[in-house]
Amino acid sequence: MSFVRTVYFYNNLRKNLSKSREEILNIRKTKFNKLVKYAYENIPFYKAYYTSFGIKKKDLESINITDLPTINKGILMDNFDKFFIDKRITKIQVEKFLSDNPDPTSLLFNRYYVIHSSGTSGKVGFYLYSRKEWDFIKAISTRIFSNFTITRKKYAFLGAIDGHYAAISLFLSPLHQVEQYFYKDYLVMDINRPLQNYVNVLNEFKPQILTGYPNGIKILAELQKKGTLNIYPQNIVTGGEILQKDTKIFIKEVWDKAELTNSYATSESLAMGVARDDLDGMYIYDDAIWLEIQESGSILTNLYNYTLPLIRYQLSDSFRTLSDKNTIWPFTKVDEIIGRSEITPIFINEDGEKDFIHPIVIAEIFVEGVTAFQFVQTSDVSFIFKIVISKESKLSETQIINNVRTKLSNLLQKKNMKNVSFEIEVVSELKPDPKTGKFRLITTNKQ
């Protein structure tokens, strides 16, 4: 059923690419009205929330999107148990599942995909998708290729792999499904291990599709330019962080015959948009989401997720809309993301060499009982990890601290950084930078 459903979504999504802009806007509005009505009638949070703003059921027939109040991660996590029809889904249950089942292919109740991330806010968030919604994501993900075919290819992934992170969960989801046919073979590489460890493996594997975080792909490109690495991928897909212009130019310079794609996704919606060589910019998937672009950040309405409806959810991602003279797709065209960056902490490892811990590895740390955290580098061989502990957790503070220590120690060990020391500091709240007024997930107090 899953594969048949994915094919159904794929065919419908392909048709949308040849529709007019007006038709796409009508599709978006229809999906929005249907979702809002569903949420009001079925999701306890939304009925109470909208009612508190004086919004009644009859108002939803003709309501404009901007007439609805926004929500954010704090509101979601504070009211988490009220966002679901399935009453088995609770914050405590999800935390326990993530703690007991680190394998990204495992499903909650054998039914729901669970994604966790702190993003740049430092606050841990949980996002759930049904199998049906995941099939939609797989179908729309084919848009990362300018010419998707059923030819079997060898795929290699470079990123965070030891948890329910968005990218690895999606990369591994075809396994044990009919879609695994498309993987002639696959290779998973941990971004939190020295990338030199994978050179020989990659040279032997010779991937046709190479996907990962831009800075990780850039390091592989540097190894290729030096002659250490010898691979020639047909497609390179980046995502998870901003693809800086200089990084993009360098990757294209090294692998000039490869098609370079930048996929825009978040934990809140794994289908957001894409930039490809042939598109001359990034298109937002207006047939899957409604993204309200503002001066500081944006507001997301996920139009395909009924398991966890997110309606007017605030994001920190910033864009500039572009005038689309050569309309290739009937969607909103934007400059690629201009607001989603973090400091990359660089340490001296056990061999006396400089190495980094990728910001996404830090952003996607999960420890049961920790609701928010911040990484503060204090020197080339030390950092402080600040945590906020949940008042609802059944674990003691000592247990949570020990679990955090184990998580960080394992992270450092994989990175050949056992020499790096750290302190765990329990705080009641995480405060923004007093100079900028903005919170940073990763900061530095290096002397």
**% of residues, the chain, pLDDT over 70:** 97
How many CA atoms lie within 13 Å of 164's alpha carbon, on the beta-carbon side?
29
CA dist., res. 358 & res. 148, Å (int):
30
| Contact of 43 with 309, CB cutoff 8 Å | yes
Residue 435 has pLDDT above 70, yes or no: no
Q: What is the pLDDT of residue 304?
A: 98
Closest CA to 441 of 166, 158, 121, 148: 121
Q: What is the pLDDT of residue 439?
A: 81
Residue 325 has pLDDT above 80, yes or no: no
pLDDT band (50, 70, 90) for residue 183: confident
As beta bridge partners, residue 362 has none
Domains contained in the chain, CATH given:
1-341 (3.40.50.12780), 346-444 (3.30.300.30)
**Interval 350-382: pLDDT, tens:** 999 999 998 888 988 999 999 999 999 999 999
Q: Identify the residue whose tokens are 């420890």.
A: 367
Burial class (CB in 10 A: 0-12, 13-18, 19+), 234: middle
Strands (E), 46-124: 112-117
User: Among 13-22, 78-87, 259-268, 436-445, where is mean pLDDT lowest?
Assistant: 436-445
SS3 259: strand
Over range 37-42, report the average pLDDT: 97
Burial class (CB in 10 A: 0-12, 13-18, 19+), 101: middle
CA dist., res. 15 & res. 44, Å (int):
35
Residue 180 has pLDDT above 90, yes or no: no
The four Cα atoms 37, 109, 368, 439 give a dihedral, to 10 degrees, of -30
Scanning 271-387, the segments in alpha helix (DSSP H) are 359-363
pLDDT band (50, 70, 90) for residue 236: very high
Q: Identify the residue whose tokens are 């765990």.
A: 424
| Contact of 423 with 384, CB cutoff 8 Å | yes
CA dist., res. 362 & res. 387, Å (int):
13
Question: Pairing state of beta strands 281-284 and 289-293?
Answer: unpaired
CA dist., res. 114 & res. 400, Å (int):
21
Amino acid identity of residue 29, one-letter, is: K
CA dist., res. 444 & res. 362, Å (int):
14
Over range 177-190, report the average pLDDT: 87
Q: What is the pLDDT of residue 250?
A: 95
Residue 181 has pLDDT above 80, yes or no: no
Residue 440 has pLDDT above 90, yes or no: no
Distance of CA 3 to the CA centre of its chain: 23
pLDDT band (50, 70, 90) for residue 338: low
Residue 324 has pLDDT above 80, yes or no: no
Higher-pLDDT residue of 280 and 106 is: 106
User: Among 221-235, 298-312, 430-444, where is mean pLDDT lowest?
Assistant: 430-444
The four Cα atoms 407, 409, 412, 413 give a dihedral, to 10 degrees, of -110
CA dist., res. 110 & res. 107, Å (int):
5
